Amino acid sequence: MATNPLNADAFDLETKISEWKNFLAQRAVINAQDIDELEDHLRGQIEHLGNSGLDDDEAFLIAVKRVGDIESVSREYAEVHSGRLWRNLVLAPQETGANWFNLELIVVLMLAVGAAIAFKLPAAFGVVFEDPSTPLYAHNLPLFCLPFLALYFVWKRQLGKQGIVILAGIVTVLALAMNGFPFEPQGSTEILAILHLPIVMWFAVGVMYSGDWWCTQSRRMDFIRFSGEFVIYYVLMALGGGVLTAFTIGMFSFIGFDVEWFAQEWILPAGAMGAIIVAGWLVESKQAAIENMAPVLTRVFTPLFTLLLVAFLVTMLATGKGFDVQRDVLIGLDLLLILVLGLVLYAVSSRDPGEPTGYFDVLLLALIISALLVDVLALLAIAGRIFDMGYTPNRVAALGENLILLVSLSGYAWHYVRFLRHESGFNSIERWQTNYIPVYAIWAAIVVFAFPPLFGFA
């Protein structure tokens, strides 16, 4: 994403106008002719303001405000030229150069094929995906596909050899740990490592996505938005792929050919791996066209999850029943709280910081407080279980994860209360969110690398 020209320090009028045009051009509903028209309007405003005695930098800032902020202009054009929006959802030829040659698409397809080949490569050595006695797939599933997505961003962000070396180092260390540790089959530390490995690898993808080694808050916030949209794209692609596979099996069955084995062993697994890279590319390339999908879903599900948590708390208090702190229950509870945290993450990242407080902010605070209370009750139950029955990998992992969620949700609640009381700006919430993200990855790395030896690989 281009840098917002309003945030630049040094000033050169032509450079700033060029940056403003580049920033505007990322909106899929605005074409080159529209940008030229807006530029003429902008320059007219700058000239008028300059004749009034303003310096170029002052005139530029005021003129941009008068033309309208980028989001407002995009919405206006989307309403008038809605057809363009849909045309931009399909693969369009490049405006410059050879129309038949799209280097980025070729790179993406090569990486997608690479992920599919990497997934199927063990089969050439007799490793069967469904065989529980050979847990290679279970131990390495994210490593078959996510490194290829990260490699796409290494290429896209021009991180060069340094990016390749760092990515290769991360993947190598993770692979050595997951395949070198003498896990007890189906043991707690093995399952915990399998569950936390995707978090570590996804954070590595985020580091490559940022393009500046996770140094800029705006790029970290962009990755949160990317993550939300990625989930939606991938689910849609998975649904479409499932329908296509079903029709493929059905069509060939009409002429007496059984291709179900081929679909199960090749189409579905290879497609699932390759779709990871394609979905990431689609989000990166088409985010301006449909970047409001995840925010809409966030606004739909936030009140529903708030009602769920409130009803859960009321029922628990009314009946006096506590948590059954078994492994499956703990995993399910943590998944619920993580999903709620995901809603909060994306709600914060998709909100306009300059927008005044509204009902949705109050609703989001209610969700945060409800999740915080559930987390506190879960922590009390886990602590009581540890006190009565001792330490196990599952209980310690659940304790650590819920403590991390407690701190995270408490920070959100504190900053949101201050924001609603107009004691601080929304930027304080954004800073809390982006600064806390590495904590999740660090904890996941601890579970993957430290828990197995600490608990004897049990």
DSSP-assigned letters across all residues of 340-355: HHHHHHHHHHTS-TTS
Q: Each residue of 288-331: pLDDT tens digit?
A: 554 456 677 787 888 888 888 888 788 877 877 766 656 566 66
How many separate domains does the chain show? 3
Cα angle 226, 146, 118 (rounded to 5 degrees) comes to 150
pLDDT at 97: 44
| 191-238 tens-digit pLDDT | 999 999 999 999 999 999 998 888 888 888 889 888 888 988 898 888
% of the chain with per-residue pLDDT over 70: 83
- At which residue do the structure tokens 């899929």 appear? 28
Give the lowest-confidence range in 42-56, 57-71, 338-352, 367-381: 57-71
Angstrom CA distances, 445 to 197, 341, 346, stand at 7, 19, 23
CA nearest to 305, candidates 349, 348, 328, 335: 335
User: Are 157 and 68 contained in the same domain?
Assistant: no
CA atoms within 13 A of residue 307's CA, in its CB half-sphere: 5
DSSP annotation of 9: S
Same domain, 266 and 120: yes
Q: 71-98 in b/e burial notation, b at 16+ Cβ within 10 A?
A: eebbeebbeeeeebbeebeeeeeeeeee
The answer to whether position 163 is within a domain reads yes
Residue 416 maps to a domain: yes
* Global model pTM greater than 0.75: yes
Main-chain phi, psi angles of 214, to 5 degrees: 70, 30
Q: Where are the alpha helices (DSSP H) in 157-216?
A: 160-180, 188-210
Residue 328: inside a domain: yes
- 258 lies in some domain: yes
Residue type, 179: N
Q: Verify that 167 and 246 share a domain, yes or no.
A: yes
Q: pLDDT category, 359, cuts 50, 70, 90?
A: confident
Domain boundary among 266, 284, 302: 284
For residues 326 and 407, membership in a common domain is answered with yes
Q: Say if residue 235 is in the same domain as residue 368.
A: no
Task: List, for residues 44-60, the tens digit of each pLDDT value.
Answer: 888 888 887 888 888 88
Q: What gap in Å lies between CA 287 and CA 283, rounded to an integer?
A: 5
Structure tokens at 2: 């281009």
CB atoms within 10 A of CB 411: 17
Residues 171 and 227 in one domain: yes
Residue 7 pLDDT class (50, 70, 90 cuts):
very low
Residue 49: inside a domain: yes
Helices (H), 255-292: 260-262, 268-290
164 with 82, same domain: the answer is no
The two tokens of residue 298 are 């966030």
87 vs 93: CA distance, rounded Å:
11
Which range of 83-87, 104-108, 143-147, 297-301 scores highest in mean pLDDT? It is 143-147
**269 and 120 housed in the same domain:** yes
For 89-103, 189-203, 407-421, which range has the lowest pLDDT when averaged over its residues?
A: 89-103
The whole-number pLDDT of residue 316 equals 76
Cβ atoms of residues 291 and 229 within 8 Å = yes
**Domain enclosing residue 237, as ranges:** 103-184+218-284
Average pLDDT of every residue of the chain: 82
Based on the domain organization, do 330 and 354 belong to the same domain?
yes
Residue ending a domain, among 87, 114, 129, is 87
Q: How confident is the model at residue 11 (pLDDT cuts 50, 70, 90)?
A: low
DSSP 278: H
Q: Taking a C-beta distance cutoff of 8 angstroms, is the pair 40, 15 a contact?
A: no
Q: Identify the pLDDT of residue 446.
A: 95
End of a domain among 52, 87, 122? 87
Do 229 and 311 lie in one domain? The reply is no
Question: Is 53:4 a contact under the CB 8 Å cutoff?
Answer: no
Q: What is the DSSP letter of 123?
A: G
Looking at the domain assignment, is residue 311 inside a domain? yes
Q: Which residue from 113, 108, 119 is spatially nearest to 142, judged by alpha carbons?
A: 119
Closest C-alpha among 322, 440, 326, 324 to residue 392:
326
Place of tokens 């904590």: 439
The pLDDT of residue 111: 95
Confidence bin at 180 (pLDDT 50/70/90): very high
| Strand, coil or helix: 126 | coil
Q: Which residue has the higher pLDDT, 248 or 418?
A: 418
**What's the rounded mean pLDDT across residues 186-195?**
90
Q: Cβ of 43: how many Cβ atoms within 10 Å?
A: 14
Residue 335 located in a structural domain: yes
Q: How far is CA 251 from CA 108, 187, 238, 243, 247, in A?
A: 30, 43, 20, 12, 6
According to the model, what pLDDT value does residue 326 have? 62
DSSP secondary structure code for residue 1 in this structure: -
pLDDT computed for residue 92 by the predictor:
46
Whether residue 357 has pLDDT greater than 80: yes
Calpha distance 120→114 (Å, rounded): 10
99 vs 74, residue with greater confidence: 74
pLDDT average, residue stretch 351-369 = 87
Q: How far apart are CA 42 and CA 37, in angstroms?
A: 9
- Among candidate residues 225, 292, 294, 219, the one with its CA nearest the CA of residue 71: 292
Structural domain contains residue 354: yes
Q: What Rg, from alpha-carbon coordinates, does the chain have? A: 25
Same domain membership, residue 81 and residue 60: yes
**278 shares its domain with 339:** no
Q: What share of the chain is helix, strand, coil (3-state, %, to 5)?
A: 80, 0, 20
Give the type of residue at 2. A
Q: What is the predicted pLDDT for the residue at 212? A: 86
